[in-house]
Structure 1
Amino acid sequence: MLHRVAVVVLDHFAPLDLGVPGQVFSAAESAAGEKLYEVVTCSEGGRPVRCGAGYSVLPDHDLGVLDSADTVVVPGVHGGRPMRDGTISGTLRAALRDRPRVMSICTGSFVLAAAGLLDGRPATTHWREAARFARLFPEVKLDPDVLFVDDGDVLTSAGVAAGLDLALHVVRRDHGSEVANRTARRCVMPPWREGGQAQYIDRPLPSGDGGTAATRAWMLARLDTPLDLTALAGHARMSVRTFTRRFREETGQSPAKWLTGQRVRHARHLLETTDLGVEEVARRAGFGSAVSLRQHLHAAVGVSPLAYRHTFRRV
């Protein structure tokens, strides 16, 4: 039976956000080529909904379709009541409650917060709207630096393209890395993006030549190799102090924290896609030992390597 994804379209919807669920989930197929998701759209009363780009869409359903949805997606909104005063209609609030899984793209998080779905939970939104979000919804544990937040049955993503990252994450969570990677290739997008939203925040960089992008690529090609700060700064042709400052400005993280995150991601990929033993996965990911891998993986996702592999290789 197809997993039904229902997309709730609101006034002032963000055009790209609206297209993400249909593009990513519709592209997800089994190894035999069978569709894994059905995507439907809806609006309050099934009425036409207009965006700021000069056109309207006419969803096929009203909010009643949410009763049969396995996942509900709320795309971003550019203005309107959720962003002005943090409120939504009582009809929409009731419709969003008690769903198996709800996710937002970009400023769609304002709608989830207005429905009370994010109270006491971690969440994210577009970095430009983070201050407004925090004022309207102080009870939400906002993290404006990440691309998305997975809090089990409620998921939120950062600005615009981060919705692609979240949708692909959901495919990976539902069906494993092989399906997600195949979906990413079909959508011509990376299986995951490094770093968080902090690297896209508009803020001035100090004057000077060069950046750390080339060194980050160099680090990614050598995850299984010990890399100290002196070597990294040397590759970037900077002093250790300048490199550390520039790296944090460009990624929002210290070199050590960023490198650990990439090693955890690589270890997760190997656990999902190979039969390598835990010791070998640890070596290839640069952790050196299974004990170190277990500590870092548990800190990142809360489970051991074997438990993680079991979860993501069930399909």
Structure 2
Amino acid sequence: MNIGIFIYPEAEVLDFSGPFEVFSTASRLCDGNKAFTVFLIAEHNAVVSARAGYKVLPDYSVEDHPLLDVLVISGRVHTTEMENKVVTDWIKGQAHSVKLIATVCTGVFLLAQAVQSLSCKVTTHWEDIPDLRNMFSRLNVVDGVRWVDEGNIVSSGGISAGIDMSLHLVSRLHSEELAAKTAHQMEFAWTKNT
């Protein structure tokens, strides 16, 4: 199963690193039966300067990545990426082909901008909930939860909540047992409730 994590300038480091660690660890624990192939995707095949100058080299660009089963969209403090038509068009296209889209933190802003018909229950970082409600009134924005699962759309609160959400996705896409083993391997106290 191909898991593509979309990153962009100023992306919050744990928003993409946390899910990457979850899926790569889960795959490593599958006794040689690789469950997930996880990789980073950016607009271009060039180094991305994430939050606080953290430099990341994506595996693929939006033009040359393998077919995805799951797209994870990371977040960041500013949502100026919402004005990038190349990115929003790409996300819109992926929404029609992937099995599932997950967002971490303010990544949900990008998804809502790209998929104007999106109307479901979502969440984001507590600090950004008022803006999300004001900008996208068609969404049912939930406060006080780590993540929300709406079938083919799964969203999480900020930063570390993306790890909880990703462990949930491992349990959903593979097994509860693998998700629990992954959390234990990562020495992470997995919050299972939504």
Name the residue aligned to 1:182.
181
Structure 1 116/34 Cα, relative in aligned 2: closer, same or farther at 3 Å? Answer: same
Contact 2:79 2:110 (8 Å CA) reproduced: no
Report 1:188-267 matches (<5 A): 188-193=187-192
Q: Secondary structure at the match of 1:53?
A: helix
Contact 1:147 1:157 (8 Å CA) reproduced: yes
Name the residue aligned to 1:20.
18
Normalising by structure 2, report the TM-score. 0.89
Aligned residue identity for 1:102: I
Report 1:1-315 matches (<5 A): 3-29=1-27, 32-65=31-64, 68-82=67-81, 87-97=82-92, 98=96, 99-116=98-115, 119-193=118-192
- Any unmatched runs of 5+ in structure 2? none
Q: Which has the higher helix share?
A: 1
Percent identity over the alignment?
A: 28
- Any unmatched runs of 5+ in structure 1? 197-315
Normalising by structure 1, report the TM-score. 0.56
Structure 1 31/122 Cα, relative in aligned 2: closer, same or farther at 3 Å? Answer: same
Q: Which has the higher strand share?
A: 2
Q: Count the aligned residue pairs.
A: 189
Structure 1 127/176 Cα, relative in aligned 2: closer, same or farther at 3 Å? Answer: same
- In 2, Cα distance between equivalents of 1:180 and 1:77: 26
- In 2, Cα distance between equivalents of 1:66 and 1:93: 16
Structure 1 150/100 Cα, relative in aligned 2: closer, same or farther at 3 Å? Answer: same
Structure 1 45/94 Cα, relative in aligned 2: closer, same or farther at 3 Å? Answer: same
Deviations 1:59-107 (A, max 9, x none): 121113455011011111121415xxxx332221221121321111111
- In 2, Cα distance between equivalents of 1:115 and 1:40: 22
Deviations 1:110-145 (A, max 9, x none): 111111267211100000111111111111111022
- In 2, Cα distance between equivalents of 1:185 and 1:38: 20
Name the residue aligned to 1:240.
none
Question: Displacement, 1:12?
Answer: 1.3
Name the residue aligned to 1:309.
none
Aligned residue identity for 2:123: T
Contact 2:168 2:192 (8 Å CA) reproduced: no
Aligned residue identity for 2:4: A
Q: Secondary structure at the match of 2:102?
A: strand
Contact 1:126 1:158 (8 Å CA) reproduced: yes
Aligned residue identity for 1:94: D
Aligned residue identity for 2:118: D
Q: Secondary structure at the match of 1:28?
A: helix
- In 2, Cα distance between equivalents of 1:116 and 1:32: 38
- In 2, Cα distance between equivalents of 1:122 and 1:12: 26
Q: Secondary structure at the match of 1:46?
A: coil
Contact 2:76 2:107 (8 Å CA) reproduced: yes
Contact 2:12 2:77 (8 Å CA) reproduced: yes
- In 2, Cα distance between equivalents of 1:175 and 1:192: 18
Name the residue aligned to 1:312.
none
Larger Rg: 1
